[in-house]
Amino acid sequence: MLVGKVIDSIVSTRKNERLVGNKFLIVEPLPCMGENRDRLVAIDNVGAGIGEIVLVAVGSAARAGCGHPDAPIDAAIVGIVDNGERL
Amino acid sequence: MLVGKVIDSIVSTRKNERLVGNKFLIVEPLPCMGENRDRLVAIDNVGAGIGEIVLVAVGSAARAGCGHPDAPIDAAIVGIVDNGERL
Amino acid sequence: MLVGKVIDSIVSTRKNERLVGNKFLIVEPLPCMGENRDRLVAIDNVGAGIGEIVLVAVGSAARAGCGHPDAPIDAAIVGIVDNGERL
Amino acid sequence: MLVGKVIDSIVSTRKNERLVGNKFLIVEPLPCMGENRDRLVAIDNVGAGIGEIVLVAVGSAARAGCGHPDAPIDAAIVGIVDNGERL
Amino acid sequence: MLVGKVIDSIVSTRKNERLVGNKFLIVEPLPCMGENRDRLVAIDNVGAGIGEIVLVAVGSAARAGCGHPDAPIDAAIVGIVDNGERL
């Protein structure tokens, strides 16, 4: 999993129907975790908000682990990091 | 998911038969999302056109989520971003 | 999917038995698609030859989509790009 | 698999329920293995501690191989490297 | 698949039980294949030895294709390249 900060959200009115009902958040990987990852869009599985430090699962884990086995989802916020600001 | 701009399309007459009927679009990841991703070819799942800002799912999500579980597809455009030009 | 040029082939006499019968081609991603991808070895699913511009599917798509669900294949050439030289 | 050093742990009180009971460790890939990987968060499958050199499996292997097929896990520590300090 | 040279092996006494019986080899991707890949640890599926040039499958292909569907394996050596020294 990667650790990042929620910096924004995006809206998509015209989308695959299996994505309906999901919130799309833009996550910026924390610089302290390295420089090789780009920002990504993840669905929100835990009620995360802008500014929070979160744990993001990518790949098939995002579907299998969040109750969306048949949706075109490749990234999901699966935890809010406690005391994330210390990282 | 990544966010990118549809910049071109490609045609492939000789291809795996399970790909027949799909439109192949070249997507350029938005620079504001980072510099580590290359352009990629994604099938179009939502009727996207050249110049639109789109949401792309990669990996098995592209097959499982778009009704092509047995096709050799590893990227699919699954949403058009509203007000994409603000990004 | 990525777009690349077939530049060479490799032969492997001693290999996993589920790979027997496949042709292994070295594909160089086109520079116009970005600079972050390395050359890779893909099995040939469409009768591609050296010098052709091809579409390559990576990950589980290469197995699931090419009739090799149980083979250790992570990349497959799944289309020949028409007018590939324009890219 | 990648080889890295466990450098820290993180706690997430608010998380996907299928993650409950797992320990989240931050792993720093060893520099001798290359410079293209970032630090990542992996669940601990073998009782690893801070400072140990470990083997990490990523992707669906982390779920399938650690008894968590339905959890949003994309990285797991699956071995402690003997004499890891020699690497 | 990637092409690399086997440069070392590692031993892990304390590991996930589904990994028992596998040999772990460190593979260095060949420089002629690009500069974006790091060294990785792969299980040996074909009897490879130090110094040999091998074909490595990564991701779920390594499990599905090598008879270890339920093991935490994300990379496997699946072929020895003939005349690998010419690459």
Q: Are strands A75-80 and A53-58 parallel, antiparallel or unpaired?
A: antiparallel
Say if residues D57 and D1 touch (Cβ distance below 8 Å): yes
Do B28 and B37 touch, CB atoms closer than 8 A?
Answer: no
Which pLDDT band holds residue A63 (cuts at 50, 70, 90)? very high
| A33 close contact with D: CB closer than 8 A | yes
ipTM reported for the complex, 2 dp: 0.96
Q: Domain ranges in chain D?
A: 2-86
Over the stretch C16-74, which tens digit does the pLDDT of each residue have? 999 999 999 999 999 999 999 999 999 999 999 999 999 999 999 999 999 999 999 99
The answer, yes or no, to whether residue D87 has pLDDT greater than 90, is no
Measuring CA to CA, which residue among B34, B29, B27 is closest to residue B8? B27
CA of D85 vs chain A CAs: smallest distance (Å):
22
Q: What is the pLDDT of residue B85?
A: 86
Find out whether B49 and B5 touch, Cβ atoms under 8 Å: no
Chains with at least 3 CB pairs less than 8 angstroms from chain E: C, D
Q: Which of B69, B70, B74 sits opposite C1 (nearest CB)?
A: B74
What's the sign of the alpha-carbon dihedral B73, B75, B77, B78? positive
CB contact under 8 A, D73 and A57: yes
Give the number of other Cβ atoms within 10 Å of residue A70's Cβ: 13
Rounded to whole angstroms, how far apart are CA atoms D76 and D63? 8
With 0-12 / 13-18 / 19 or more C-beta atoms within 10 angstroms meaning exposed / middle / buried, residue B85 is exposed
Cβ pair C77, B14 in contact under 8 A: no
> Is C34 within 8 Å of chain E by CB?
no
Nearest residue in A to B76, CA atom: A72
Q: What is the CATH number of domain C2-86?
A: 2.40.50.220
DSSP D48: -
Q: How much is the pLDDT for A85?
A: 86
Q: C-alpha dihedral over D32, D36, D39, D40, to 10 degrees?
A: -120
In the predicted model, is pLDDT for residue E11 greater than 90?
A: yes
User: pLDDT grade, residue B54 (50/70/90)?
Assistant: very high
pLDDT at D85: 86
Q: Do C11 and E83 touch (CB under 8 A)?
A: yes
CA distance C48 to C25: 9
Nearest to D74 among A61, A79, A83 (CB): A61
pLDDT, tens digit (0-9, with 9 covering 90-100), for A8-43: 999 999 999 999 999 999 999 999 999 999 999 999
In this structure, what token pair is assigned to residue D69? 């097929």
Of A1, A45, A59, the CB nearest to D60: A59
Of D64, D80, D81, D63, the C-alpha closest to D72 is D63
